[in-house]
Amino acid sequence: MSTAPVFEIDLAAFTQDPYPALAEMRDGGPLWHVPQLGATLFVRRDDIFTQEKRIDVFSSHQPGGLMTELMGENMMRKDGDAHAAERRATFPAFSPRTVRDSWTAEFRAQTQRVLDALAPLGSADLVADYAMPVSAEALKVITGLTNMDWREMDRVSQGMMDGIANYAGDPEVEARCHDCTASIDAHIDARVEALRAAPDKSLLSVQLEAGLPMDSVRANVKLAISGGQNEPRDAIAGAAWALLTHPEQLAMVLTGEASWRDAFEEYARWISPIGMSPRRVAQEDEVHGVRFEPEERVFFMFGSGNRDAQVFPDPDRFDITRDTGPSLAFGAGPHFCAGAAASRALITEVALPMLFDRLPGLRITGEVPFAGWAFRGPLKLPVGWPV
């Protein structure tokens, strides 16, 4: 097994706030084996950036991994030519041109409807009442599952996220995940005939047009729903919270001194919605004097790398003026997030500017708890505004 030094964690405390333990790990060394997670963790930014590209050693192909077993073998769990072929097939749904020409107007229309319903109320939970439906409605359009209610989209996404982070093996979490994947399959089946007759730029449609096997089609739609719902949802609400708790930085955005893109990129560095990516050791190797044996599990801790003081000065501080170029928020290597352009457009061109424009005087009215280490975001964000 890995010869990395052992670092023990309290899993409940790590879930509530992983950053103190991750900082202690970074200060103590580049690699740690965490028994509670059953994995060896890369915790420093430059190591993650370099080692994630070594797919011959740290492979995304994980036939026995939670994601593969629960969601099917999607392109994120393939390497080399197999990964490249499916990425090419899905690219038309996620390309910057498609996002610009097909999706952004849809994002605005759906977000406007959500805001029209919220504005007269004077109060809301910005997670459940805004970020959640805005993200889900966008994902319905991108995936092609326009027959799925936005509430079900959020439910199945969260169920899969919980399932693939279920390293403790909770059978109830696994059962909920299976229920969610079955729902997605049923919604896919109900849309196939119509999309074959009238193809569009949705993920489901472009895969059908490319002739991918249905197992791959299903797995890639589930992949898009898993990360494509929780990451924008958590980033919309989380970035709004960050700006509301740093009013001087919100003022910079509202006056044009900084941009919504600056705010989003810094938030995604500071509190990474996707905090880690797992890999399988495919062959013997050694990094920083630590030996790895085949079939061991490795976690690239993006959230830790994004707070590496060797790369980001004063890393625990939210600062929208900093250079976020080295951020690992969307990954690094061949598995860089395919939906990055769509996510950035939804959050920085639509969700954040429309929220603060429509609800002037927005303020936080209660506690804002966060949770998660593999996937992290606010659980609720109570707000109010003048009506």
In this structure, what are the phi and psi dihedrals at residue 42, rounded to the nearest 5 degrees?
-90, 125
Q: Which residues contact 159 (CB under 8 A, 6 or more apart)?
A: 176, 177, 179, 180
What is the reported pLDDT for 64?
Answer: 76
pLDDT tens figures, 328-348: 998 877 767 778 899 999 999
C-alpha 259/C-alpha 267 separation (Å) is 13
Assess contact for 188 and 218: CB atoms under 8 A: yes
Query: CA nearest 138: which of 330, 343, 359?
Result: 343
C-alpha 99/C-alpha 146 separation (Å) is 17
Tell the residue number behind the tokens 């930085």, with chain if given.
Answer: 249
Give the CATH number of domain 11-384: 1.10.630.10
Domain parsing of the chain, residue ranges: 11-384
pLDDT tens figures, 201-260: 999 999 999 999 999 999 999 999 987 888 999 999 999 999 999 999 999 999 999 999
Longest distance between any two alpha carbons in the chain, whole Å: 63
Query: CA nearest 199: which of 191, 187, 209?
Result: 209
* Length reported for the chain: 387
What is the reported pLDDT for 335?
Answer: 67
- Low-confidence spans in the chain with pLDDT less than 70: 335
51 Rama class: left (phi>0) / alpha (psi -120 to 50) / beta:
alpha
* SS3 readout for 220-278: HHHHHHHHHHHHHHHHHHHHHHHHHCCHHHHHHHHCCCCCHHHHHHHHHHHCCCECCEE
Query: CA nearest 375: which of 242, 262, 232, 264?
Result: 232
